Amino acid sequence: MRQPSLTSTASYQALQSHAKDAQQWQMRDLFAQDPQRFERLSSEAAGLFLDYSKNRLDGRTLALLADLARERGAEKLRDAMFNGDKINLTEHRAVLHTALRAPKDKQITVDGQDITADVHGVLARIKAFSDAVRNGQWLGHTGKEITDIVNIGIGGSDLGPKMVCLALRQYAHPRLTMHFVSNVDGHDMDAALSRVNPETTLFIIASKTFTTAETMMNANTARQWFLKHASEAALAKHFVAVSTNVEAIKKFGIDPDNMFPFWDWVGGRYSVWSAIGLPVALCVGYGYFADFLAGAHALDEHFRTAPIEENLPMILALVGFWNREFLGCASVSIAPYHQDLNRFPAYLQQLEMESNGKRVTRAGDTITDYETCPVIWGDVGTNGQHAYFQLLHQGTDVTPMDFIATLRPAHEFQNHHAALLANCFAQSEAFMKGKTADEVRVDLAGQDPAEIERLVPHKTFPGNRPSNTILMEYLTPATLGALIALYEHKTFVQGALWDVNSFDQWGVELGKVLAKKIEAELNGDAQPAQHDGSTNGLIARAKAAV
């Protein structure tokens, strides 16, 4: 169904008019004028606290943004998603990753069928299998316990479980070492295989269709490596699949009893809650995996029921939309001040950019009069401070930031944690306040006046740079689940505002199709007529190097 153009809506035009004033605001002044700003512009739910007061907005801005969300039907689309409607229009699919973390007594239907029993049936199988591996009942073909688990997938089949296993390392089984192979570059597989023993290694092949090119190349390489040390009969003890293609996994040598399915209504980048999360259950145990699901469900319920003005995903989405559309911010930097979240920025890159990196509306109209998804990037603090924060403080672009931190650490080095939080809070303050020329002169007082004036422009910081801060008590399976769900729903809401389908990814496919043609040419006779001069030249150089 075709919506009115975003820029033609009354609420967008009201925001556009309002933005002319807001662009002149200084956040220093906003805080000085309102002593209660922090209390008014912060909210919490599901173990997460969000401070969005360090953004160039006020109560009027938020009210207008809420009006826009209603006018764009964000709440109705949210309800349609939770109801199992086929909101993925280009693939005619429901979008129900939320069903993967719903409790047993929650009835959820797709095409008239209650899917809750199916979901919990797979969860029961995950529990039984992960328990058997972790407690030593599942043995390799020579009778030894499993010590290493190699997950072979790509995209959501890699980024999600890898990020979560790293984030929850405090909960990991001491005997099990997790490895993740995703890149078709043989160096990735070589590095993993060089560290494992075929007698004690379990491979998880994660591909819904069991045809994903990169995953299957890596899977077949792992299979060939294993068969140098064991017979084909031993494959079933060392390979399992997250897939729905029974015939393909049987041909590969995997026992169908060790196939863990998921469904078309689970998109890859939303799939860590499904059987794709099997590595997580193996790593931390099913009990903590269940807590991970429960934390996400708690945030789901908040998102589903809270009014826009108190709804964390809605607020995060609307603030980001404001920064993108009306303040001209083309990227967002994610800064987790927690080393165990070091892969979280990469996870969000796929979640947001693959979801909302679109240039056509859901009705297929080309978007020409507004921008969609910003570039998502980042790294852990304090590392980023000594790498790219210089640009964020004094560069020509304004880049909003999301700071993420825990109030309590999972280690005993309290002085480290105090220093970490001090850096986190100081950076958000510095981005907001900046440093004026007069403040620089005060700092340099006593030096040669001419030298002071020479240094003033170099030591002045414009400030007025927006940020959010997300805090949790501890990084636990439950709070991590809630944090991921927060960003999932933020992404959903922004997709609704931009009127893009957040649940397909056709842009991923074009390169794959061309790669198949070029791979055949690299391995055989080149067909120059199919390519441009540059591509032909690159192919020729590659063939000459063989």
Catalytic residues: 354, 386, 512
What 8-state DSSP symbol labels residue 13?
A: H
Q: Comparing C-alpha atoms, which of 181, 183, 224, 176 is closest to residue 205?
A: 181
Angstrom CA distances, 503 to 5, 90, 344, stand at: 20, 9, 20
Q: Is 219 exposed, middle or buried (0-12, 13-18, 19+ CB in 10 A)?
A: buried
Helix and strand totals (H; E) in the chain: 23, 12
Q: What is the 3-state secondary structure (H, E, C) of 158-205?
A: HHHHHHHHHHCHHHCCCCCEEEEECCCCHHHHHHHHCCCCHHHEEEEE
Dihedral angle sign, alpha carbons of residues 46, 490, 314, 59? positive
Cα separation of 53 and 424, whole Å? 15
* Amino acid in position 11: S
Find all residues with CB under 8 Å of 371, minimum gap 6, and list them: 324, 325, 330
Q: Which residues of 190-207 are buried (b: 16+ CB within 10 A; e: fewer)?
A: eebbeebebbbbbbbbbb
Q: Cα–Cα distance between 70 and 11 in angstroms, integer?
A: 9
Q: How, if at all, do strands 42-45 and 48-51 pair?
A: antiparallel
Residue 518, Cβ density class (10 Å: 0-12 exposed, 13-18 middle, ≥19 buried): middle
Please report how the helices 286-305 and 116-134 are oriented relative to each other, as an axis angle in degrees rounded to 10: 150
Residues contacting residue 189 through CB under 8 Å, at least 6 positions apart: 181, 218, 221, 222
Q: Which of 165, 130, 457, 486 is nearest to 285 (CA)?
A: 130
